[in-house]
Amino acid sequence: MSNPSAQSLTHLDQAGQAQMVDVSAKAQTVRQAIAEGIVRMQPSTFEAIQSGNAPKGDVLATARLAGIMAAKQTANLIPLCHPLPLHKVEVTIESNAALPGYRIQAEVKIKAETGVEMEALTAVSIAALTLYDMAKALEKSIQIEAIRLVSKSGGKSGDYVATGQQSP
């Protein structure tokens, strides 16, 4: 039985079943996405991470590496995402004593037929979860907040830049 409303949805076939979108007819263009998120914690936890005194080792380096690795695994984690040969994945983790905590940002770039928004969001999410995992012995109440797409460029839908300012 056909679902009329499903016909306009790209990830559903005419029978309403999930499908991977065929992007083979699209032109390869340079596409870039930037995502960010915040990890907030107690001042004592922040200080321990900053001074290199976390029980599990280098929290920030491990979180950064995890984010890069996660971007490369997005198609294995998110159903119907295309496996992509990424050209650039950069994860930065900025300390912010006012939070206290960290702002994580991921930039992903490719020349392909489809965008890399999910890869950037996955990188931020996994970097934040890794930061939590590496620091949970110090504090269980660490908060992961405000993961969002900041910008994307390339592709048929055009450019996007988030409006409004993210909290500190």
Residue showing tokens 């900025």: 94
Which of 13, 22, 58, 133 does the annotation list as catalytic? 133
22 catalytic residue (yes or no) = no
Closest CA to 63 of 93, 99, 106: 93
Closest CA to 94 of 162, 36, 164: 36
Answer whether 30's CB lies under 8 Å from 111's CB.
Answer: yes
Long-range CB contacts for residues 15-23, cutoff 8 Å, separation at least 24: 18/79, 18/80, 19/80, 20/80, 20/82, 21/80, 21/82, 21/114, 23/82, 23/113, 23/114
User: Known catalytic residues?
Assistant: 133
